Amino acid sequence: MAMQKLGWVRRAAQVSMNDRINTTLLYREVQQFRQPWIWVVLLFSSLAALTAAATPFFVGSSWAQNWILNLILILFGIIFGILFPILFYIAALIAEVRTDGLYISFYPLLFAPILIPFNNIVRCQVRQYHPLREYGGWGIRYGSQGKAYNVSGDRGVQLELANGEKILIGSGNPEALVRAINVFTNL
């Protein structure tokens, strides 16, 4: 498996199914964007985008006269009215503890999972955090406390790596994730 080093965190360039099958899965958590307030915001923004896209078909100006603007409105409607909500619906943060390390995937944004080998983890603890204040929101974020992977809630697992890098993984059950990591790290 080809690996590219990013500090102490290694990004798997090609993590084949055989490589993942050869390791034992101890813990897996999948989180998705399912907060009602996100879907209310997405609903209204999608309706606005689709309304803008439909405007050229219902106003009196001729299509040929404003074809570039009309095309832009239609593309805007397709991207923000249809594709963006689909992306939010299928997006998932996946944390897996396997025998060779901690894998973090953020489907479909990270095409290959990030692998953090256990021997690079020097500290691991459950932590409550403020997603907006500390990291500026949810998703893959950078903030005053390091890097964060989160989709909901305000609890997670704070990792400190041997090079001093800090990574927060949002979790619905951070205690179970810490227990699984500690099986291999003895922290």
Contact 55, 133 (CB under 8 A): no
Of residues 99 and 16, more confidence is placed in 99
- pLDDT at residue 13, rounded to an integer: 41
* HEC assignment per residue over the chain: CCEEEECCEEEECCCCHHHHHCCCEEEEEEEECCCHHHHHHHHHHHHHHHHHHHHHHHCCCCCCCCHHHHHHHHHHHHHHHHHHHHHHHHCEEEEEEECCEEEEEEECCCCCCEEECHHHEEEEEEEECCHHHHHCCCEEEEECCEEEEECCCCEEEEEEECCCCEEEEECCCHHHHHHHHHHHHCC
Say yes or no to pLDDT of 47 above 90.
no
Structural domain spans, the chain: 3-31+93-185, 36-89
Band of the pLDDT at 123, cuts 50, 70, 90? Answer: very high
- pLDDT at residue 64, rounded to an integer: 60
Band of the pLDDT at 180, cuts 50, 70, 90? Answer: very high
Band of the pLDDT at 43, cuts 50, 70, 90? Answer: confident
In tens, the pLDDT along 68-110 reads 777 888 888 888 888 888 887 888 899 999 998 999 998 887 7
Q: Scan for tokens 């204040």, then name that residue.
A: 133
Contact 118, 184 (CB under 8 A): yes
Rounded to an integer, the average pLDDT of 137-150 is 86
Contact 95, 103 (CB under 8 A): yes
pTM over 0.85: no
Q: What is the CATH number of domain 3-31+93-185?
A: 2.30.29
Say yes or no to pLDDT of 114 above 50.
yes
Q: Which two tokens stand for residue 9?
A: 């965190």
- pLDDT at residue 6, rounded to an integer: 43
| Environment class of 72 (CB within 10 Å of its CB; exposed 0-12, middle 13-18, buried 19+) | middle
How many Cα atoms occupy the beta-carbon half-sphere of 23 within 13 Å? 18
